[in-house]
Amino acid sequence: MGKKGIETMVGGFVLLGLVGLVFLSLQAANLVTFIGQGDTYTLQARFDNIGGLKPRAPVRSAGVTVGRVTSIALDPQTFEGVVTLAIDSRVKFPRDSAAKILTSGLLGDQFVGIDPGGDERDLAPGDRIVQTQGAVVLENLIGQFLFNRAAEAGSPATGQP
């Protein structure tokens, strides 16, 4: 193989590496899975605590990505987080569906999970998901656990002085 053939192969490997880097950067930015999916419609959900939810976070139902978070804002009257969701138009959810902010794994990224309800009527574009559950903040859980342990240690009901 001549010098020109080796240079062509090295150039091909470099180009393949660059394509791989572009793919990884799109994957890290949560842009790959929703590109080219077609039309979407918007829904809103209000949460008392959105935790670390970010725009472009996935919206999943039964583990399948069905949309993206498009924006997050604070309602100045109720002090709730208002999350706007772009849902794939091929997926329709019943009006009594519930939305939760969940975490991938123990310390993974957060996403919105939608549990479909049983109503015969579907949510229309622009509707609000009424039943919501905010994010579970790990620091709050640890604080509650420590507080409960300290209260148990100091209580006379345990039989210890």
159 inside domain: no
129 inside domain: yes
157 inside domain: no
Question: pTM for the complete prediction?
Answer: 0.67
Percent of all residues in the chain with a pLDDT value above 70, rounded to a whole number: 86
Only one residue has tokens 């859980």, namely: 141
- What does the block give as tokens for 139? 């620091």
Residue 161 has pLDDT above 60, yes or no: no
125-143 pLDDT, tens per residue?
A: 999 999 998 887 777 778 8
- What does the block give as tokens for 137? 């903040």
| Same domain, residue pair 80 and 99 | yes
| Same domain, residue pair 77 and 22 | no
14-55 pLDDT, tens per residue?
A: 999 999 888 877 766 655 554 445 699 999 999 999 988 999
Looking at residue 35, its pLDDT comes to: 46
For residue 33, which phi and psi values (nearest 5 degrees)? Answer: -75, -15
Only one residue has tokens 């604070």, namely: 74
Per-residue pLDDT, averaged over 102-131, amounts to 89
Contact in structure between 47 and 132 (CB atoms under 8 Å): yes
How many structural domains comprise the chain? 2
Per-residue pLDDT, averaged over 103-127, amounts to 89
DSSP string, 107-124: T--EEEEEE----SSBPP
Can you tell me whether residue 40 is helix, strand or coil? strand
| Same domain, residue pair 22 and 48 | no
146 to each of 51, 53, 150, 161, how far by Cα in Å? Answer: 21, 26, 6, 19
Range of the domain at 119: 40-144
| Same domain, residue pair 44 and 121 | yes
